[in-house]
Structure 1
């Protein structure tokens, strides 16, 4: 079996974009070449030992941190593929632990989830046996509207217009902004309202998100739940990372910064630029690394 071709086919069948697929395959190919040259006695296609040696090799040869972290992420996806196919029985790479940390005082990089991490989070919260509809809706709302957690818990039923698929958000300083709601998010809101929420003793609350003990969910409850499931998913989660991820993904997909600024509710484009332009530069460099 040509493992690299099988990996490529798996990525394509999983719906990965061509650029993403090519990037993952290229990184795994470089790792395999390293194994052939430096770790000839390695029997498994991937192990903790071989990964650690390869990462050290990259560090010793002074690869850029962004490049190393990109390769670490690719190998994590490869690890997932090997486990799914039964070719290895270990989860040898932990992104939170194995990514190279940027030294204090270095250029600021906004922390955001990668495409692969977003997929893992959505897959986890999509499991009805593990996650309630309300909590799934919380994650989807944070990710696809970029609202702050304080704004999230104060969303009222009257803030949602199902006819125009829009959400009115009341932000800092009493500022009001309108955000479009994706069709799948709109559908999930409906499922929650006619199901779990309707069965709650606080179903008459004016707020969208209710808890078992209150007519309005507390933002600490959101933070605590995300922290709790972080270990299960293997990614450090907290409310604001979804806001950062949404903004970062919009910018890297070519959405004008003025539009992103309005979605975030920033008082100026300069604030958006200051917070997110460095991430955009990083992603451009990663794109050039694919050449």
Structure 2
């Protein structure tokens, strides 16, 4: 075990002790092992104290040049990940991904500096990368109807997807939160449900419509004929659904009717329709589980000019005051 490896292991133990989510831990380890691979093979650096700011800047430049899935932190993962078969192999790595890599590297070296393991912090003075946000398309009502109509609700897995899509559109929950739901999380009397966020281990209540309440009652009766699983939307075997499988199935259904759609886009559409229909930013922020209204505004205020026009016409002071 070389010096970098030792400090990386210590950092991962520190993160594990903080009870960070498995997804966050995986992101840190994957990022830092790829950076370690670069330092050893491109810069011949194995000692933490020898890492300088220019190494990190060179790595960022390297990421922009090398393309997706051309390097792996663990050769053993190729057996089941098959990066050589991915259709996006070699494509340009997005600024969002590079920004995430840099953020993880900054967290690592800030930890080492604060704990006294290094006397100079190589990430000091390296600016964060602020990727330009892509405006997420707002699906119109006819597109949503077409998407839902493409699902065969006589089949267990498509009925499950149909209801999952409707629930995200009605509550704005994340797909990871959706798949964590259990029947006892539902309060059908008050049309509320307890949502657990596996990313930060926090929970909150969100609310659903009367129409969704009826949908859920029907689903519970249907589901109980097929499964006694602890999960509200289980696999046919009763286990918890995998997020990537949900995303893949949704994508395939969307592609079949010419609609490009992701679970996060549905969450984004919930937020926009909530605001377009007169909802306020403060309550939206709580429903979405954001840490502040600023987070909500940054994430969801990318309306098109036409959407702003429609919202204005609905809330025009002159029209509503009838002057």
Q: Same fold (TM over 0.5)?
A: yes
How do 1:29-178 and structure 2 match up within 5 A?
Answer: 108-125=134-151, 128=153, 132-171=158-197, 172-178=199-205
Alignment coverage as a number of residue pairs: 181
Deviation at 1:110, TM superposition (A): 3.1
- C-alpha distance in 2, partners of 1:280/1:262? 24
Q: Flag the 1:204–1:129 CA change in 2: closer, same or farther, 3 A.
A: closer
Work out which of the residue numbers 210, 231, 237 in structure 2 matches 1:207.
231
- C-alpha distance in 1, partners of 2:191/2:133? 39
Deviation at 1:217, TM superposition (A): 1.4
- Alpha carbon RMSD of aligned pairs, Å? 2.5
Work out which of the residue numbers 184, 190, 206 in structure 2 matches 1:179.
206
Residue by residue over 1:140-181, the C-alpha shift from the partner in whole angstroms, topping out at 9 and shown as x without a partner, is 111111111110100011110111111111124122211112
- C-alpha distance in 1, partners of 2:165/2:192? 18
Residue by residue over 1:65-89, the C-alpha shift from the partner in whole angstroms, topping out at 9 and shown as x without a partner, is xxxxxxxxxxxxxxxxxxxxxxxxx
Deviation at 1:283, TM superposition (A): 1.4
- Who is 1:234 aligned against? 258
Q: Flag the 1:173–1:107 CA change in 2: closer, same or farther, 3 A.
A: closer
- C-alpha distance in 1, partners of 2:201/2:145? 34
Q: Which moved more, 1:157-166 or 1:169-178?
A: 169-178
Query: Unpaired segments of 5 or more residues in structure 2?
Result: 1-130, 314-323
What TM-score, normalized to structure 2?
Answer: 0.51
How do 1:21-32 and structure 2 match up within 5 A?
Answer: none
- C-alpha distance in 2, partners of 1:288/1:115? 20
Q: Flag the 1:259–1:193 CA change in 2: closer, same or farther, 3 A.
A: same
The answer as to whether partners of 1:166 and 1:181 remain within 8 angstroms in 2 is yes
The answer as to whether partners of 2:231 and 2:238 remain within 8 angstroms in 1 is no
Query: Unpaired segments of 5 or more residues in structure 1?
Result: 1-104
- C-alpha distance in 2, partners of 1:282/1:150? 32
- Who is 1:55 aligned against? none
Deviation at 1:186, TM superposition (A): 1.4
- Who is 2:61 aligned against? none
- C-alpha distance in 2, partners of 1:183/1:162? 9
Q: Flag the 1:238–1:168 CA change in 2: closer, same or farther, 3 A.
A: same
Highest relative contact order (Cα 8 Å, sep 6+), 1 or 2?
Answer: 1
How do 1:183-198 and structure 2 match up within 5 A?
Answer: 183-195=210-222, 197-198=223-224
Q: Flag the 1:107–1:218 CA change in 2: closer, same or farther, 3 A.
A: closer
SS for the counterpart of 1:215 is coil
Q: Flag the 1:288–1:168 CA change in 2: closer, same or farther, 3 A.
A: closer
**Structure with greater Cα Rg:** 2
Work out which of the residue numbers 300, 318, 322 in structure 2 matches 1:276.
300
- C-alpha distance in 1, partners of 2:272/2:311? 15
The answer as to whether partners of 2:171 and 2:206 remain within 8 angstroms in 1 is yes
- C-alpha distance in 2, partners of 1:270/1:287? 21
- Who is 2:31 aligned against? none
